[in-house]
């Protein structure tokens, strides 16, 4: 049976003596945590920003094909990669004696199905609007909706200064999207 102590090196372990969650990130200093966060944000943004490029290039070289034709290979690739990551994570957890949370795959699978439908619709929109306009609207639209829900429904940002920063960034993003939508050339 696994023991949970502060010396364990796996995320989300519990120190039973103090009843608090201890993660590997807690062992890093604030500066290291911030640096790691910036690096991961840049990596995620870069990967997210180019994930639709192969499908769009394929669509451009096969104009007779349906826009939805690229959705299945994209979804299969994501499923295989995600499954590999889950198997690796689970294997390391078992080797280290850490109990896994019950049923992490169900919510991930459901959200992946929703994402797959969204991706297929995004590719269809890009085929109608062109990449510069379509991708911009498809990439920024979900962020717009989620951030508005975050501020107005869930009240995740309540202090004045963070709200001003948020609305400033929101305004700049909105201006950029409107300029691209109005003056971007459909392909």
Averaged pLDDT of the chain: 81
Ranges of each domain in the chain: 1-50, 56-129, 130-187
Residues 49-84 have pLDDT tens digits of 787 788 878 888 988 888 788 888 888 988 898 889
Instruction: Please indicate whether residue 10 or residue 102 has the higher confidence score (pLDDT).
Output: 102
User: How much is the pLDDT for 22?
Assistant: 62
Element (H, E) at 13: strand 13-15
**What are the C-alpha distances in Å from 65 to residues 12, 57, 96, 180?**
46, 12, 49, 26
- The residue with greater pLDDT, 143 or 184, is 143
Per-residue pLDDT of 7-49, as tens digits, reads 444 445 544 455 455 667 778 888 999 999 999 999 998 888 7
pLDDT exceeds 90 at position 90 = no
CA distance 126 to 182: 15
- Please name every residue paired with 21 in a beta bridge, in sequence order, or none if there are none: 14
């Amino acid at each position: 049976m696994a023991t949970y102590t502060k010396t364990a090196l796996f995320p989300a372990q519990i120190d039973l003596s103090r009843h608090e969650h201890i993660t590997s990130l807690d062992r890093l200093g604030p500066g290291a945590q911030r640096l790691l966060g910036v690096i991961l944000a840049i990596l995620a943004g870069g990967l997210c920003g180019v994930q639709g490029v192969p499908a769009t290039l394929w669509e451009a070289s096969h104009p007779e094909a349906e826009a939805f034709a690229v959705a299945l290979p994209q979804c299969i690739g994501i499923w295989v990669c995600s499954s590999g990551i889950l198997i690796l994570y689970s294997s390391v957890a078992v080797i280290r004696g850490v109990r896994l949370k019950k049923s992490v795959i169900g919510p991930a699978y459901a959200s992946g199905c929703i994402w797959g439908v969204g991706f297929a619709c995004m590719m269809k929109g890009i085929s109608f609007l062109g990449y510069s306009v379509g991708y911009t609207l498809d990439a920024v639209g979900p962020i717009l909706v989620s951030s508005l829900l975050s501020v107005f429904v869930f009240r995740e940002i309540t202090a004045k200064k963070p709200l001003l920063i948020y609305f400033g960034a929101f305004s700049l993003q909105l201006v950029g999207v409107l300029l691209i939508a109005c003056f971007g050339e459909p392909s």
